Chain A
Amino acid sequence: MATSNNIKKKKTKPAIISEDQITKKQSTLYAFISFAVVVVLWQLAVLFLPNFGNIFPGPYDVVALMIKIVKEPVGRLTLFAHLGWTLKRIFIGYIIGAVIGVITGLAMGTSKLANAIISPVFEILRPIPAIAWVPMAILWFGLGEASKYFIIGFSTFVICALNSIAGARATSEKLKGAARMLGASERQLFSKIILPSSVPQIFAGLQISLSASCSTILAAEMVRSEEGAGWLILRGMNTGNMTLVLVGLIVISVTGLILATVMRAIERKAISWSFRGK
């Protein structure tokens, strides 16, 4: 009955419904192979395409420069000192922006009155990208560190506020009703129900704004500075040194990835009960 000649040939199934899962080992291997292929092709292009090499330095040059500036300073500082400045700016701006953003967002999401008061100004400021604040930041805070904190802080503030609003508003009416029925006061309703159930969304905001900070820092360091990974990139651009630009980009990208991983670990600890924490 089940002879082999009436077995139809199986269609290849699309990736999203394929049954055999790729193991972690396999996917690491593929990632490594494709990464290696790109690096090799890149190096080959630099070696054998004369025009390409003039515009774009090869991976060897980039790594060589990176190693060199670990010891020798660019501008006033070495690579890690530049990175240190950048991290300091990100942290200070980010923490200020996140605290104000989460508080504002929770207030707007919880209280209709607070929302009515804050939202007109908030809605005007929200769509203005952080970079567009650079000129005003300079006029208000000068060319020093404060204006850089302000720019990072503003971008963080908007993202954190938006996510906190969404988190507070998404609190299940059933939960709120149940808490009221059990005699919770308005204050308890906030601290015991709304706040915990907004936490996953708040963390989403913290995560997104942290990645955004790593991009905004470039804008912030366009305000006159002589240090920082963003400054390395700008210096590279102004002197036509693409190698330095790429070194700066790699440093910032890797920093961003590390920060995101740390943030995710914190999040997993903090909200192990939620679906996002799994």
Chain B
Amino acid sequence: MNNEVVIKCENISKTFPTADGTAFDVIADFSIEVNKNEFVVLIGPGQCGKTTLINIIAGLEEATSGIVTVGGELVTEPDPKIGVVYQETNLFPWLTVMGNVEFGPKAQGESKASRQERAQKYIDLVGLTGFENQHPNKLSGGMQQRVGIARVYTNEPLVLLLDEPFGHLDAQTRYLMEEELEKIWRQERRTVLFVTNNLEEAIFLADRIVLMTNCPSTVKQEYIIDLPRPRDITSREFLKIREEISKNLDLTS
């Protein structure tokens, strides 16, 4: 495996002032390195700090202290090379599927023919051929998330940040989407940082799992998952790893 570091977070902390004037720590001293084409899953309990962390890496929010570099450059503002998929409502409801998928290259002024060709390729890849002219509200939750994935791939980012992308889906669709995402990722390798609170999902997808603590979030432990892909969630090895991590994972809070 290529060991070039693509995402590097050094001692990230984030503190919000609260209404009563005291400081609230969401992220404390968080450091992580993600290698090129590596699939890293951040797993942690609760609602604390994960979306904030993704937004800091994406350059949408500023860390109180610490630095983030992506591809060797310091992140100070959103950049097309960092693609993000959120848990919900990330599609533009006023645009069609095609309009959503071609949004990124269009914003950067790419010609229509070239951007639509690429958009079509990823629409086909996520299995939405024929839905190009539908509006998102006509699609199911799983299909909407496929559009989100096609959209982020079309922009050809260096890294992909996925913030609980399947959190709102029902269990059945969720399994399907996990398999689908894994398949797409094997076809089109990218550096991925994936956030979830579902351990099974994490083990199914990850090269490496980073376990986080709750409020303030920081790294608790890391696990390398070297099971062959695609993984079988009922296999003995899978269950063993699951058992091992879950002992350490406090999802109660």
Contact = CB atoms under 8 A, between A and B. Distances in A.
B69 interface: yes
B69 A10 contact: no
Nearest to A8: B76
A2 B62 contact: no
A51 interface: no
A2 B77 contact: no
A112 interface: no
B74 interface: yes
Interface string B72-84: 1110110000000
Contacts of A278: none
B67 A2 contact: yes
Contacts of B62: 19
A10 B59 CA distance: 10
Contacts of A11: 77
Contacts of A19: 61-62
Contacts of B74: 1-2, 6-7
B73 A6 contact: yes
A156 B77 CA distance: 51
A85 B93 CA distance: 51
Interface string B50-71: 0000000000011000010100
Interface in B63-122: 67, 69, 72-74, 76-77
Contacts of A10: 76-77
A225 B74 CA distance: 73
A274 B72 CA distance: 48
A52 B142 CA distance: 64
Interface string A127-139: 0000000000000
A123 B77 CA distance: 54
B69 A1 contact: yes
Contact of B77 (A1, A6, A8): A8
A179 to B, nearest CB: 25
Q: Tell me the dominant secondary structure on chain A's binding face.
A: loop
A1 B67 CA distance: 10
Contacts of B67: 2
Interface string A1-36: 110001110110000000100000000000000000
Contacts of B73: 6
A1 B69 CA distance: 9
Contacts of B69: 1-2
Given A1-B69, A2-B67, A2-B69, A7 B61 contact: no
Nearest to B78: A11
A129 B157 CA distance: 57
A7 B69 CA distance: 11
Interface string B14-47: 0000000000000000000000000000000000
Nearest to B74: A2
A80 to B, nearest CB: 39
Contacts of A2: 67, 69, 74
A14 to B, nearest CB: 13
A204 to B, nearest CB: 24
Nearest to B61: A19
A19 B74 CA distance: 20
A8 B73 CA distance: 10
A93 B85 CA distance: 54
Contacts of A1: 69, 72, 74
A116 B62 CA distance: 58
A11 B62 CA distance: 13
B208 to A, nearest CB: 23
A7 B76 CA distance: 7
A8 B72 CA distance: 14
B72 to A, nearest CB: 8
A166 to B, nearest CB: 21
Interface in A201-215: none
A26 to B, nearest CB: 14
Interface string B181-192: 000000000000
B49 to A, nearest CB: 16
B80 to A, nearest CB: 14
B38 to A, nearest CB: 20
Contacts of B72: 1
Nearest to A17: B60
Given A7-B74, A8-B76, 13 more contacts: A1-B69, A1-B72, A2-B67, A2-B74, A6-B73, A6-B74, A7-B76, A8-B77, A10-B76, A10-B77, A11-B77, A19-B61, A19-B62
Interface of B: 61-62, 67, 69, 72-74, 76-77
Pick the 4 closest A-B CB pairs, nearest first. A2-B74, A2-B67, A8-B76, A7-B76
17 contacts: A1-B69, A1-B72, A1-B74, A2-B67, A2-B69, A2-B74, A6-B73, A6-B74, A7-B74, A7-B76, A8-B76, A8-B77, A10-B76, A10-B77, A11-B77, A19-B61, A19-B62
